[in-house]
Amino acid sequence: MTEPAVHSSFTLERTYPRPADAVFAALADPDKKRRWFAGGAHQDVLDYESDFRIGGAERLKYRFVGDSPIKGMVLASEGRFETIVPGRRVVTTSSMWMMDACISSSLVTMEIVPQGEETRLVCTFQGAFFEGSDGPQIREMGWNALLDSLGRTLAE
């Protein structure tokens, strides 16, 4: 039997000691974004591609490795860039698949707010979670880790 979708939203903020153009570049440049968005200690990246333009696709596929409780499972994300305002905003929609099942669909808005020599990034996630999904709490933890990873990438 199909369970009802679980809907959730959250907003996370970070302030990075970098100018807004550097933060935007980390969202826009596929090589820079791969460093903070696609990798991780528990994932072996099988594929990552990003066509950063309105209507462009972003695809990520990885296998869980190491001490992950779902070691060997493959996760894929298929997304689209909906809105891009250079230096200010990026909006994406995406769906995540675990093996052959869609586990979630989401809308993510990244807002870039210059603050002198620093930049505040406001990430708003709105999602629907389906059977077999990680759920809202795990996804929020994941986005917190991603934004921390973005901070480390910006410090390089």
Question: For 39-87, how does the pLDDT look when each residue is reduced to its tens digit (9 = 90+)?
Answer: 777 789 999 999 999 999 999 999 989 887 888 889 999 999 999 999 9
Q: What is the pLDDT of residue 119?
A: 98
- Domain edges within the chain: 6-37+79-155
Q: How far apart are CA 75 and CA 97, in angstroms?
A: 6
What pLDDT score was predicted for residue 12?
Answer: 98
The model's pLDDT over 80-114, given as tens digits with 9 standing for 90+, comes to 999 999 999 999 999 999 988 999 999 999 999 99
pLDDT of residue 134: 81
What is the four-CA torsion angle of 143, 103, 58, 54, rounded to 10 degrees?
Answer: -90
Residue 1 pLDDT class (50, 70, 90 cuts): low
Angle at 86 between CA 148 and CA 81, to 5 degrees: 75
pTM of the entire structure?
Answer: 0.93
- Contact status, residue 100 vs residue 74, Cβ threshold 8 Å: no
* CATH assignment, 6-37+79-155: 3.30.530.20
Predicted pLDDT of residue 99: 83
- Write out pLDDT tens, residues 104-151: 999 999 999 999 999 999 999 999 999 878 889 999 999 999 999 999
